Amino acid sequence: MRVIRTVDELRREVGEARRSGQRVGFVPTMGALHEGHLSLVSAARAASGVVVVSLFVNPTQFNDQADLAAYPRDEERDAALAAGAGADILFAPGVTEMYPDGYATSVHVRGVSEPLEGAHRGASHFDGVATVVTKLLVAVAPDVAWFGQKDAQQVAVVRRLVTDLGLPVRIETAPTVREPDGLAMSSRNMRLTAADRPRALALKAGLDAVAEAVASGADPRGAEAHGVDVMRERGVEPEYLALVDPGSFAPATDLALPSLAVVAAKVGDVRLIDNLPICPQPHTEEPS
């Protein structure tokens, strides 16, 4: 696996592969790789001739500078894991490579970026995500880019920008990878204290409670309220727990259509997110 640090070198390397007829798969990451990331690399490996993994802690998507400073960084470890999962190229640029002096452009995606994560983290969060993903997609020019389902709203934002900007790339997702006890794998999990680690399971418990309530015939808002109650019983107050349309992230109103339960909460000092697809519920006829 080659480690590349400049866009020019990356384009030369990928260009040679493309001229030889190989398909290019791409997995963007901020490092601190775990099995969720590696499942994306493996999926890209199975479908591509060349696999590029990016490693860049993007400062523009952090609304909390303390969170940025605390984000785990270990390039040597990440490089070894990426290579073991099948990556051919690790693109690990510095901040000035991605945002050189005088940089003055950002990408803003209206609508889907505004609720939930956008409301709680501020508009600059998804502006930072959309901008860096656009820059990476332009630099790599992949046939397919792979994202994890855990970051569902981010994926929806990326799909919107790819469609609106006409970028020639297909966006694929892979299911959320979980720890044996159900906690969604996240680079932030390693920051949970021993006392907070069991409490983090409240997020999955809340999502499961929403799914159970929907299956029992609850309406969307009632199902949400049940999930919040379950989380509070476990000592965790959600920032949000909502049933949404998986494309627009507007509140779900018709459970005969696919929906997505999404949750965010701070457990100790660590902010976690998770989500769970909810199967459509058939309409029931009122008795005559």
- pLDDT tens track for 115-169: 999 999 998 999 999 999 999 999 999 999 999 999 999 999 999 999 999 999 9
DSSP letter at 83? H
- E strand or H helix at 202, and its extent? helix 202-215
Q: Is 79 annotated as a binding residue?
A: no
DSSP 94-143: -HHHHS-TT-------TTTTSSTHHHHH-HHHHHHHHHHHHHHHHHH--S
DSSP letter at 60? G
Domain ranges of the chain: 2-174, 187-278
Number of C-beta neighbours around residue 235 at 10 A: 11
**Residue of 68 and 196 predicted with greater confidence:** 196
Does 254 have pLDDT greater than 90? yes
What letter represents residue 9's amino acid?
E
DSSP letter at 91? E
Q: Quick: pLDDT tens for 7-18.
A: 999 999 999 999
Q: Is 283 annotated as a binding residue?
A: no
Closest CA to 36 of 169, 198, 171, 189: 189
Token pair recorded at residue 282: 């058939």
Give me the active site residues, please: 37
2-174 matches 187-278 in fold: no
Does 285 have pLDDT greater than 60? no
Token pair recorded at residue 175: 């299911």
**Residue 108 near residue 127 (C-beta atoms within 8 A):** yes
**Residue 184 near residue 204 (C-beta atoms within 8 A):** yes
Q: Is 86 annotated as a binding residue?
A: no
**Residue 243 near residue 210 (C-beta atoms within 8 A):** yes
**Residue of 284 and 4 predicted with greater confidence:** 4
Q: Is 35 annotated as a binding residue?
A: yes
Q: Which stretches does DSSP call E strand in 149-288?
A: 170-174, 238-244, 259-267, 270-278
**Residue 265 near residue 244 (C-beta atoms within 8 A):** no
Q: Quick: pLDDT tens for 181-201.
A: 999 999 999 999 999 999 999
Q: Is 219 annotated as a binding residue?
A: no
Q: Is 32 annotated as a binding residue?
A: yes
What is the CATH code for 187-278?
3.30.1300.10
State the average pLDDT over residues 87-105. Answer: 98
The span from the CA of 214 to the CA of 221, in Å, is 10
What is the CATH code for 2-174?
3.40.50.620
Q: Quick: pLDDT tens for 218-252.
A: 999 999 999 999 999 999 999 999 999 999 999 99
Q: What is the pLDDT of residue 64?
A: 84
Tokens 């792979």 appear where? Answer: 146
* pLDDT more than 90, % of the chain: 93
71: which residues sit within 8 A by CB, 6+ positions away? 30, 32, 57, 62, 187
Distances (CA, A) of 90 to 7, 19, 86, 143: 12, 20, 11, 17
State the average pLDDT over residues 49-66. Answer: 94
